[in-house]
Amino acid sequence: MHDTPRPHDLLWGMRPEQLPADAPAWAVAVLAAGQPVVVRRARVAAGLVAVGLRGATRDQRLAALMPVEEIGHRLAPEDLLARQASEDLPVFRVLAELRPLLDALGYVWGVTGSAGFQLATGLPTAHPDSDLDLLLRTEHPLPRSEARPLLQLLERRACRVDLQLETPLGGVALREWAGDGARVLVKTADGPRLVGDPWQAERAA
């Protein structure tokens, strides 16, 4: 596994006392229950990881910082593909349909969002209307001519599928890269940026 925690990795080991004093009660309860936090994109001091906590409802989200030395266990999105879904929901049925198709592409890929969290923890975070959030690690350029048929592969499924390309510069929505825009939005550790080529940092603006 990659040594440094990357966006969307799930980390276990953060304790309630490491939260800010004004942290909401639900966040304290999440850590007290031993639930993982998810790595988010942000530039932080050495020895820390920017993470996010998720509660039982969509509005329960909290940004926090976790000491690297406290990480007891880590799962990357691609690690979750070996997990069995605990419920028969559209997101998990679509994930099973797409798995052989995405495996055939030869890229490292994985599942994030509520479906990934449920696969990792067994907690019922996904629901019948959940989107399926996927991540595709594209260290080398993915031509737009290949992005468009890939997007078509994900369309017309039993749930919406959102795939994010992880490039050296940051995260790019496949739906946007497969479009016709001259520039696309890239999520970076320094915030969103519009770029012409997500694999060429010097072209960022």
- DSSP conformation letters of 109-140: EEE-HHHHHHHHH------TT--EEEEEE-SS
Average per-residue pLDDT for the chain: 94
What's the pLDDT band for 182 if we cut at 50, 70, 90? very high
pLDDT of 65 higher than 90: yes
Spans of all domains in the chain:
10-75, 77-203
Spatial distance between the Cα atoms of 181 and 183, rounded to a whole number of angstroms: 5
- Is there a catalytic annotation at residue 131? yes
Single pTM value for the model: 0.93
- Is there a catalytic annotation at residue 88? no
11-40 per-position pLDDT tens digit: 999 999 999 999 999 999 999 999 999 999
Selecting among 79, 131, 162, 197, the annotated active-site residue is: 131
Selecting among 133, 162, 180, 190, the annotated active-site residue is: 133
Spatial distance between the Cα atoms of 150 and 171, rounded to a whole number of angstroms: 17
